[in-house]
Amino acid sequence: MVFRHCFVASNMIVFLVFGCSNGANSSIENTTQFVQESNVTQLFIEAKATQKAEDFFHQGNHLLDGQLYEDAIKAYDKAIAIKVENPEAWINRGIALTSLQRYQDALVSYDKAIAIKPDKYEAWYNRGIALTSLHRYQDALASYDKAIATKPNKYEALINRGIALTKLHRYQDAIASYNRAIAIKPDLHQAYYNKACSYALQSNLELAIENLDKAIEFVPDKYKKLAKTDPDFSKVRSEKQFQKLLQ
């Protein structure tokens, strides 16, 4: 089967706007003026800290893009130390941990992001990936369902949901999930390939070939090569019709 990868949380840009009066009002008491000045000073301090957190966040994203995962985690930790309520930093930290196969630690990061923003699609989706990697397919399915409830048209979650269902031997439900993904994106070759896997696991040669053929139409070399060794096709691989398709 073909798995969809992590979603990186989008960069967060913070704008802080200060209003300015045309002049001092002589009727305002000195104590009020002092409170206002203190508030402005506090705002500037908070703005400086926010900017510093953003700098560490962007640094982490750059390191993540460069696959320097340990360094990326350190940068996200610095951003979170300044601004703990930052779901994007927690998500991307989780992605770096997932990339290091530290799945339990990644789950902690995704759960932190969800605690801050319960409807954060990227957190639920990536949480599902970590759970799938831990072979916790029922829990992964629940996470993908949460992601899809937030963004129904995200076909990536539907594909990974199908994989979790396949691992649970719920083949018809998996195929339905792949079909939903194809309805959103008709040229989704990964979904056709995974459908072929689900049919092959049920020894349904005809539909396995039909869907694998569609995947091969989109990306011939990739799927011919994969199908030759993918264990999901072990029940049908020796069939002449299947062998002919891979030639």
40-62, pLDDT tens digit by residue?
555 554 556 677 888 899 999 99
Chain centroid to CA 238: how far? 37
The pLDDT, as a whole number, for residue 28 is: 41
| Predicted local confidence at residue 26, as pLDDT | 37
Q: If DSSP codes are grouped into helix, strand and coil, which group holds residue 166?
A: helix
pLDDT score at 20: 32
pLDDT of 1 reads 82
Residue 165 · residue 142 · CB < 8 Å: no
Q: Is the pLDDT of residue 115 over 80?
A: yes
Nearest-Å Rg of the Cα atoms of the chain is 25
Q: Which of 100, 39, 49 is nearest to 74 (CA)?
A: 100
Which residues have CB under 8 Å from 99's CB, separation 6+?
A: 6, 67, 69
- Residue 168 has what pLDDT? 97
Pinpoint the alpha helices (H) of 20-66. 30-65
Looking at 8-12, 150-154, 187-191, which range is the least confident one?
8-12
Least confident of 29-33, 131-135, 194-198, 232-236: 29-33
Distance CA 2, CA 10 (A): 24
Question: Residue 38 — very low, low, confident or very high, per pLDDT cuts 50/70/90?
Answer: low
